[in-house]
Amino acid sequence: MINIKPFGSWKSPITTETIIAKTVGLGGVNSLAKDIYWLESRPQEKGRNVLVKQAADGTVADITPQPFNVRTRVHEYGGGAYLITEQAIYFSNYSDGRVYQQIGRETPQALTAESKKRYTDFVVDSPRNRLICVCEDHEVADSEPNNSIIAIALETGEITPLVTGSDFYTSPRISPDGTQLAYISWNHPSMPWDSSYLYLNDIQSDGSIDRVELVAGDTQESICEPKWSPDGLLYFNSDRNDWWNIYRRNSDGTIECLHEMAAEFTYPHWVFGLSTYSFISAELIVCAYSQDGSWHLGSINTKTKQFQAIDTPYTNISSVQASVDGDALFIAGSPNQPTAVTKFNLETQQATTIKRSGELNIDPGYLSIPQAISFPTDDNLIAHAWYYPPQNKDYTAPSGELPPVFVKSHGGPTAAAAVNLNLRIQYWTSRGFAYLDVNYGGSIGYGRQYRERLKDNWGIVDVRDCINAVQYLVEKQLADGERLVISGGSAGGYTTLAALTFYDTFKAGASYYGVSDLEILAKDTHKFEARYLDGLVGAYPEAKATYQERSPLYHIDRLSCPIIFFQGLEDKVVPPNQAEMMVEALKQKGLPVEYVTFPNEGHGFRQAANIKTAIESEFAFYSRVFDFETAD
C-alpha cells in the first residue's frame, strides 16, 4: 500500500544509525605478492584509519593495532600514509606524526624521532637501505613549514635532505634500477592543478642527488602521478592539451601522449598517494578516466598506444593498482551498490568484491538513481549537475505538490560531485527531498578550461551555477521554488553562505566549516592553501576590496533566511572563528540561527556520534523552517 504524505514526511529505513554503524571509508589499495591491502576509516573508532590485509588464502585481518592511526597531516589533507615492502610495513601515525616500522604482526616501532615533522608519500630505496618521502617540517614556530624530499635510514632513522628549495613536493619515485629519482614540485601562488613541474635526477652511489632535468611542466600545465614502467620509462599525467592525459618520456628524452582524449585520467593533487593508472606489464596499462562527471575503466597498450574502454557497472573508480597475477585492483562504487575494494580480471571482465564499505541490504525501492543534467548558465555557457529525485517505494506526495530541493555545493572548490551510493544523499531523497549535486564551473572532470572558469571568480561563478541549476529544476516542474535549501562544507560552505547572502533564491541553508570572511582566510590558513585565493579571488592585500565585497560577513544586512552552522573546533583549514563571527552577527540581527560544534573534530567530521548529530540536526532544522512533520 502506498501512503500519501507530504514531501519531507516520509518514513525511511535509511537512518543515521545505518549511515554510521554499518559503513567504513575505504582507500589506499595496494598489493604485495598475492596479498591485498587497503585502509579503512572507521567512524565507530573515532575515525581511526586501519591498515587491513587479505592474505592469499582469503583470510582478512587488521594489520595496525590500536591505538595506531595510519594517517598523515602533510598539507592537512594527508594521503599516501603507508608503504608495504617485503621486509616490513612503514606508516605515518596521526597522533604523533612519526614514521613507524611494523614487521609481521609485531608491535609497530617508531623509526623517526619525536619532532614537529610530518611525513608522507613513501618509496623504498633498497640499494641504500632507506625510505625516500616528502617531509613537512613545522619545527620553526610562527613561520610557514618547510617542505622537502628526504631520505630516512632504515637502521637508524637518521634523516638526510635530498631535494629542497621549492614550496611543495610530491610523488618521489625511484626508477626500477635505482639510479634515478623523479618528483613533482610547485611554488606559491600556484596550486598543483594550476602549475607544477616534473623533475628527474640521478642518484649517486653515496645516495646524493645530481643532474636535474625538467621533464615537463609550465605555468599553464599541471603534472600528476609520475610512475616508472617495468622497463624503466617514466610516465605521468599532463593537462597540456586541456585534459589530464597520460604521457611518456622516452629513452631519448622525447615526450609523447599515449592516447589523446577528452577525458581526465587523474584527480587534482589534494591528497598524496593518488593512483589512477598502473602497469599490468611493460606493454599494458590499466587506468581510470572521467568523462561527463562519471568515472570509467580502460586500458592502453604502451607499444601500439591503442586505448580500450572496459565496460563495468561502476561510476566512481579510484586507487587503481595491478595485482601480481595481472588483475586490476581498485576502489569502485555505483549509484546502487556500496563502494568496495574490487579485483577485476581484465580477460574475463569479471569482478570480485574484496571488501564493501558496508554490508547493506536496502531495497532498491528506497534508492534514488542520479540523472546527469546539463543546464544553461551565465555568459551563454553550460554547466553540469547530478539530480536525484525523491524516492521511497512506500510513499507518494499529495497530487500537485512539488518537492523541496537540497542543493549541494561541493568542497574544494577544485573538486567534483562523486557518483556512487552515498547514504547521506539517500537519507534525504528517501524522506521526500530532491537532491541536486552541482558540478559548478571550476569543478574537475570537464577539462582545464572548465576548471579555470573559477579563476578570479570564486563566489560568482559557483554561486550563479548553483542558482541556475535549481532554477532549471523549478522551470521543469521538478522543484518547489519556495522550499529550496543549499548546503556545503569548506569551500562549499562559502558558496552556500554567498548564495544565501547575495541572492534570495534559497530559503534556508547549512554551512559545514564554511568560509564567511575571505580576507581572514587569506591571512589565517595552512601553507598548502595559503595562496589558493590568489587565483580564485585575487592577490592579497592588493585585491582587499574584492575580498570584502565577496565575503558574506561584510553583508549581513542582505541576509534574510535561517542558517545552521556546523564546526569542528580543531579545524586548522577553516578556523572556528569563521563560523563564530557569522553566528554572532546573525544573532544580533535577530535571524534564526543554530551553531553546532564538535570539540574533537578538525576539517571534516570522522566520529560516528558527530556525523549522526550533524545529519539529524540539519534535517530537524529544515523541518522547522518549512513546517513539516518528520516521520522519525
Checking if the pLDDT of 23 tops 90, the result is no
Checking if the pLDDT of 116 tops 80, the result is yes
| Contact yes or no for 51/41 (Cβ under 8 A) | no
CA distance 247 to 250: 10
pLDDT interval class at 484 (50, 70, 90): very high
pLDDT score of 233: 98
Checking if the pLDDT of 287 tops 80, the result is yes
User: Do 392 and 355 fall within a single domain?
Assistant: no
Residue 64, in any domain of the structure: no
Tell me: cis bond preceding 67? Omega within 30 of 0 counts.
Answer: yes
pLDDT in tens, 137-149: 999 888 899 999 9
| Number of domain units in the chain | 2
User: Do 394 and 290 fall within a single domain?
Assistant: no
310, HSE (Cβ side, Cα atoms, 13 Å) = 23
Compute the average pLDDT of residues 301-323.
96
CA distance 150 to 132: 6
Compute the average pLDDT of residues 7-17.
94
Compute the average pLDDT of residues 213-219.
97
| Contact yes or no for 24/13 (Cβ under 8 A) | no
Checking if the pLDDT of 383 tops 90, the result is yes
Lookup: cell for 405? 530541493
User: Do 419 and 483 fall within a single domain?
Assistant: yes
pLDDT score of 360: 77
Residue 193 belongs to what H/E stretch? none
pLDDT score of 257: 98
pLDDT score of 575: 85
pLDDT score of 88: 96
pLDDT score of 521: 87
pLDDT in tens, 192-212: 999 999 999 999 989 999 989
User: Do 381 and 355 fall within a single domain?
Assistant: no
3 state SS of 388: strand
Residue 195, in any domain of the structure: no
Question: In CATH, what number is assigned to the domain containing residue 322?
Answer: 2.130.10.150
Checking if the pLDDT of 155 tops 90, the result is yes
Grid cell 586500458 is found at: 299
Checking if the pLDDT of 628 tops 90, the result is no
3 state SS of 52: strand
What is the residue-averaged pLDDT of the chain? Answer: 95
Question: In CATH, what number is assigned to the domain containing residue 371?
Answer: 3.40.50.1820
Tell me: cis bond preceding 575? Omega within 30 of 0 counts.
Answer: no
pLDDT score of 232: 97
Residue 508, in any domain of the structure: yes
User: Do 436 and 328 fall within a single domain?
Assistant: no
pLDDT score of 520: 87
Tell me: cis bond preceding 189? Omega within 30 of 0 counts.
Answer: yes
CA distance 499 to 558: 11
User: Do 407 and 511 fall within a single domain?
Assistant: yes
pLDDT interval class at 398 (50, 70, 90): very high
CA 412 to chain centre: 8
Residue 455, in any domain of the structure: yes
Compute the average pLDDT of residues 76-87.
96
DSSP H helical ranges for 422-543? 423-429, 448-451, 461-475, 491-502, 518-523, 532-536
Checking if the pLDDT of 122 tops 90, the result is yes
pLDDT score of 572: 81
Lookup: cell for 319? 586507487
CA distance 324 to 322: 7
Last residue of a domain, one of 316, 345, 360: 360
Other beta carbons within 10 angstroms of residue 254's beta carbon come to 8
Residue 55, in any domain of the structure: no
Other beta carbons within 10 angstroms of residue 275's beta carbon come to 20
Residue 75, in any domain of the structure: no
Residue 23, in any domain of the structure: yes
User: Do 507 and 611 fall within a single domain?
Assistant: yes
| Contact yes or no for 285/275 (Cβ under 8 A) | no
| Contact yes or no for 142/97 (Cβ under 8 A) | no
Last residue of a domain, one of 360, 375, 405: 360
| Contact yes or no for 596/566 (Cβ under 8 A) | yes
**Measuring CA to CA, which residue among 502, 499, 368, 344 is closest to residue 433?**
368
Residue 153, in any domain of the structure: no
Q: Provide the total of helices (H) and of strands (E) in the chain, helices listed first.
A: 10, 38
CA distance 264 to 260: 10
Checking if the pLDDT of 473 tops 80, the result is yes
CA distance 171 to 228: 11
User: Do 486 and 532 fall within a single domain?
Assistant: yes
Compute the average pLDDT of residues 403-408.
98
Last residue of a domain, one of 342, 360, 378: 360
| Contact yes or no for 419/370 (Cβ under 8 A) | yes
pLDDT score of 601: 92
Grid cell 568496495 is found at: 340
3 state SS of 630: coil
| Contact yes or no for 439/383 (Cβ under 8 A) | yes
Checking if the pLDDT of 3 tops 90, the result is yes
pLDDT interval class at 182 (50, 70, 90): very high
Least confident of 10-24, 185-199, 388-402, 545-559: 10-24
User: Do 485 and 577 fall within a single domain?
Assistant: yes
Grid cell 501512503 is found at: 3
pLDDT score of 165: 96
Note the residue count of the chain. Answer: 632
pLDDT interval class at 46 (50, 70, 90): confident
Compute the average pLDDT of residues 262-267.
97
Residue 260 belongs to what H/E stretch? none
Q: Residue 338: which domain range? A: 12-42+276-360
What is the per-residue burial (b if ≥16 Cβ within 10 Å, else e) of 455-490? eebbbbbbbbbbbbbbbbbbeeebbbeebbbbbbbb
User: Do 366 and 337 fall within a single domain?
Assistant: no
Checking if the pLDDT of 22 tops 80, the result is no
Interhelix angle 461-475/491-502, nearest 10 degrees: 70
CA distance 198 to 227: 11
CA distance 293 to 315: 9
User: Do 390 and 445 fall within a single domain?
Assistant: yes
User: Do 398 and 499 fall within a single domain?
Assistant: yes
CA distance 237 to 216: 10
